Structure 1
Amino acid sequence: MIQTIVYSIGFIFQKIINYTFLKIFTQSLKKEEFSLYTDMYALSFLVIAFLSFGLENTYFRFLSKKTYDKEVIFSTGVFVQLFLTSFFLIISMNSIKYLVSIAGYKNHPEYFFMFFLIIFFDTICILPMAWLRTNEMALKYTIINMINILIQSIFIIYLFSFSKKSNHLNCFSIVELVNSFTDKTGYIFFSNVVSSLTNFFLVIPILLKEVSIKKFNQSLAKKMLNYGIPIMLGTIAFSLNENLDKILIKRCLSDEINGAYSACYKIASFMSLYIRAFRLGIEPFFFKKSEDPYAKNYYEEITYMFIILGLMFYVLICGNISLFIEFLIDKKYHFAIPIIPIIMMGNLFLGIYINLSIFYKTIDKPIIGTYISLIGVLVTVLFNVILIIIPNSSFMVSAWGTFTSYGSMVLVLFLWGKKKLNQFFNCKKKIWKIIIHLLMAFLLVRVTNKNKIEISLFLQFLYLIIIFLSERKFLNKIIL
């Protein structure tokens, strides 16, 4: 729990910074420029999903097996990752003209050049950062992340603040350098390059100390790749679920609509922050406890705790959107606000799926996750195809696609692995309570958003009282 708190502090800090810049970006950038910004990150997430090759989860799993020395596992994983990312960088740099043409960025090849560097350094840092987690160095992990976000923030503030003044400067400056090859949207990408490079330098001591070519094990590398491929495919499927809507809205509707949709989508990612912070602290614990005779009790209570706290978080955020929305994004983006409760609930479904998916990871069947993720992608594609084939389609179709996709993944996982899940969770005991809690929270948010603030706050207060009374014994157990 302490580690979860430390991780949460770092991610909350990062999210506060990101949401501060969200307001700046939506004010400073036109909707079509903001669309370019989000589209580039959407495309890059797909590439990172491939290059990561599921090695983070693979690393955790092979550590829990204890069939190889942890130094051998780490060194082997790092060399595999380094080979994949280096191969990517060489190929992508030599194909940049072809790639920018396909993606529709002929006027901005520098965007791709910067993102190739971002992807390269970020991917290399995945395993060293995972090493910090497995060695319970939550504070160091958090400090590194905070340093990176601060450096990126400093560069963004500097570039945006002095961009208009650069023509009047008599001496050479970073602004003049950046202006020589990109525009205001590119300021964000350049700042990210500096941040990613900083992250790489901060983890170099770990690589120099813990990685050795003598510890590379070829047979282990093959086993790690075989285990990681299904996870990688599942990660790609997840990235498609997260980003296909924004990629298609930009190309099938307009940059203006995609800009507003993407801005409101970022607010809905509040739930992703909750999921990520929870996962960082709990996931290594899951694997460590996989052989424990009391593992079922741990998994059951942690998952139920995740759902209850997640729903409380959902109600408090979505029930008060009108109170803080103007502080987060400019008014010209507000017409996409209705997607926020839908996307947030979809993200909570994703979090539930991630917690339940532990059963196939601990029995070395990650291919199950791949199949289920592909089902989720199919649902996402079916919803987003409507944008292509039906004229005048609304962006709300994509929002409901995300909701339905993640909801269907939870349902399929539950039905598919019902017998196996009973080894980890007491499904029959908790399932109806969970369904009631989900319906109550979703309906409450729908009602509060249609009423005055006073009524909304009263209903939320009443909801929290009901939760505390109905889950009194469970919440006491968590606190104690």
Structure 2
Amino acid sequence: MYKKLAIQTIIYSIGFIFPRIVNYIFLKFFTLFFKREEFSLYTDMYALSFMVIGFLSFGLENTYFRFLYKKNYKKEIVFSTVVIIQLFISSFFLIISINLIKYLSYIIGYQKHTEYLFMFFFIIFFDTICILPMAWLRANDKPLQYSAINIVNILIQSLLIIYLFFCYTYDNDKKTGFFFIFQCINSFTDKIGYIFFANMISSLGNLFLVFPILLKEVTISKFNKILAINMLSYGVPIMLGTIAFSINENLDKILIKRCISDEINGSYSACYKIASFISLYIKIFKLGIEPFFFKKSKDSDAIHYYEEITYMFILFGLIFYVLICGNINLFMKFLIDKKYHIAISIIPIIMMGNLFLGVYTNLSIFYKIIDKPIIGTYISLVGVFITFLFNSIFIYYNHSFMIPAWGTLISYGSMLIVLYLWGKKEFFKFCNQKIKNIIMHFIFALFIVFIIKKEMEFSLFLQFLYLIIIFFIERKRFINLIQ
């Protein structure tokens, strides 16, 4: 069971990690090239768009996986129905947003850069359409194609960014034939917009790559109205939960930009990206595990698999956390320019908050497979309330960027606790010993990170000691993992 899961996860990881590595390489370039206030504009647009994508996705990816493994629906009908729903929602969004672009740019404070919004409307449109074909690849055990598409996508974007920034610094007296393309792009946007333009083209390229799947697998005649209604009923609560997650993840950056300054938001956002290393681990785990979760949902021993995999997720997540926090100065040196380092203190806090979120994501499978995604909506609202509470304190009483960071940690931690208390009677059967082990692992990891922060000269020794102790304690599980 574990071998196939591990192989697929590794292949998915290549397609997921490579683009992120490229993005982190560009992070160093952007923080060197841009002023902090310019970097703030870059991150703000992505924060806003992430919230919109959370709405437009309508929870249809999870919905597709859930209905795909229901015995009373054919696979081709499920896929055709869910894709047609997504196409309708995305097309409606694109038409409305283009027509309201001037009003929207005024509302969010981008009157001078309506072209940013124009490009992001198309990025969002292309990306939402690609969600389900990419999910189809995962559901049909095609990790190589999935990874290849992701790699081609990031290569297109990277080459375009390099080209545009090279032309920006190029001597105008030595123009080449390629310079004409740059002049066309430069005529309607600035150097921040170059990144958005490159993203738009790569998103369009992604659509072309998955288009054969849409042509082959989607048929209008296979659209099922009753199934569509059931899918929307299932997906809307997930969508509300996704929006809540988007608020938890992005409200701090949106408010810091507008309530303190672009300079502080630039530093906060750059350091937040370092903290997002833990999100890479969570996403990789999710790519390989989530389809497996739904496949196993009908098995009599499904709960055993969920619990054991969740335990391993926590164990490896804490190892990842210790290693990143133990080498935080090294990561900062190589990935972010010095002028952004003032927000370095948020990284351990945000990372632990994201790890809580990862555990929550794994445990949230219980309400999805019993067809009660509304539970996730209610719990997400708890998180949103805490996020708004901390950000209100931040706005009115103390403009310290540490307050939103602690808000993120407490929000995700509270969501995890509520979810566990909600599901433990009916679904989670973790024995008391396993719960005690999990708590001790958290305490031990936090203790090691605390000591490392105080005694940086012993950082490598403490990390090595931590790994030895963990392997000794959990040696049976590690051995089973590779068998």
Taking structure 1 as the reference length, the TM-score comes to 0.98
Task: Give unmatched runs, 5+ long, in structure 2.
Answer: 1-5
Candidates 442, 461, 469, aligned match of 1:466: 469
In the TM superposition, residue 277 of structure 1 has moved relative to its aligned partner by 0.5
Equivalent residue runs for 1:32-71 within 5 Å: 32-71=37-76
Runs of 4+ in structure 1 deviating by more than 6 angstroms, as ranges, are none
The question of whether the paired residues in 2 share the 8 Å contact of 1:346 and 1:404 is answered with: yes
Structure 2 counterpart of 1:164: 169
**How far apart are the structure 2 equivalents of 1:133 and 1:150?**
21
Candidates 234, 256, 278, aligned match of 2:241: 234
The superposition leaves residues 195-243 of structure 1 with CA deviations (integer Å, 9 ceiling, x where unpaired) of: 1000000011000000001100111111100000000000000111110
The question of whether the paired residues in 2 share the 8 Å contact of 1:252 and 1:387 is answered with: no
Change (3 A) 1:214 1:379: same
In the TM superposition, residue 170 of structure 1 has moved relative to its aligned partner by 6.2
Candidates 302, 308, 312, aligned match of 2:309: 302
Structure 1 counterpart of 2:404: 398
In the TM superposition, residue 158 of structure 1 has moved relative to its aligned partner by 0.8
Structure 1 counterpart of 2:417: 411
Structure 2 counterpart of 1:254: 261
**How far apart are the structure 2 equivalents of 1:44 and 1:427?**
42
Structure 2 counterpart of 1:343: 350
The superposition leaves residues 352-407 of structure 1 with CA deviations (integer Å, 9 ceiling, x where unpaired) of: 0000011100100000001001101111111111121114x210111111111110
In the TM superposition, residue 188 of structure 1 has moved relative to its aligned partner by 0.6
Over aligned residue pairs, what C-alpha RMSD do you find? 1.1
Task: Give unmatched runs, 5+ long, in structure 1.
Answer: none
Q: Does 2:189 match 1:185?
A: no
**How far apart are the structure 2 equivalents of 1:452 and 1:204?**
51
The question of whether the paired residues in 2 share the 8 Å contact of 1:414 and 1:421 is answered with: no
Structure 2 counterpart of 1:201: 208
Equivalent residue runs for 1:263-282 within 5 Å: 263-282=270-289
The superposition leaves residues 38-72 of structure 1 with CA deviations (integer Å, 9 ceiling, x where unpaired) of: 00000001110000000000000001112111000
In the TM superposition, residue 192 of structure 1 has moved relative to its aligned partner by 0.2
In the TM superposition, residue 450 of structure 1 has moved relative to its aligned partner by 2.5
The question of whether the paired residues in 1 share the 8 Å contact of 2:133 and 2:214 is answered with: yes
The question of whether the paired residues in 2 share the 8 Å contact of 1:253 and 1:387 is answered with: no
Candidates 353, 358, 364, aligned match of 2:360: 353
**How far apart are the structure 1 equivalents of 2:468 and 2:405?**
31
**How far apart are the structure 1 equivalents of 2:325 and 2:226?**
50
In the TM superposition, residue 317 of structure 1 has moved relative to its aligned partner by 0.8
The question of whether the paired residues in 2 share the 8 Å contact of 1:118 and 1:192 is answered with: yes
**How far apart are the structure 2 equivalents of 1:105 and 1:82?**
28
In the TM superposition, residue 258 of structure 1 has moved relative to its aligned partner by 0.3
Code of the aligned partner of 1:105? Y
Change (3 A) 1:170 1:351: closer
Code of the aligned partner of 1:436? M
**How far apart are the structure 1 equivalents of 2:186 and 2:17?**
32
In the TM superposition, residue 174 of structure 1 has moved relative to its aligned partner by 2.2
In the TM superposition, residue 479 of structure 1 has moved relative to its aligned partner by 1.7
Structure 1 counterpart of 2:295: 288
Structure 1 counterpart of 2:3: none
**How far apart are the structure 2 equivalents of 1:218 and 1:166?**
59
In the TM superposition, residue 11 of structure 1 has moved relative to its aligned partner by 1.6
Equivalent residue runs for 1:22-101 within 5 Å: 22-101=27-106
**How far apart are the structure 1 equivalents of 2:269 and 2:44?**
9
**Helix, strand or coil: the match of 1:419?**
coil
**Helix, strand or coil: the match of 1:289?**
helix
Q: Percent identity?
A: 69
**Helix, strand or coil: the match of 1:338?**
helix
**How far apart are the structure 2 equivalents of 1:406 and 1:389?**
23
Code of the aligned partner of 2:238? I
**How far apart are the structure 2 equivalents of 1:184 and 1:433?**
51
The superposition leaves residues 304-358 of structure 1 with CA deviations (integer Å, 9 ceiling, x where unpaired) of: 1100011001101111111231110000001111111111111100000000011
Q: Does 2:447 match 1:440?
A: no
In the TM superposition, residue 427 of structure 1 has moved relative to its aligned partner by 4.6
In the TM superposition, residue 166 of structure 1 has moved relative to its aligned partner by 6.4
Taking structure 2 as the reference length, the TM-score comes to 0.97
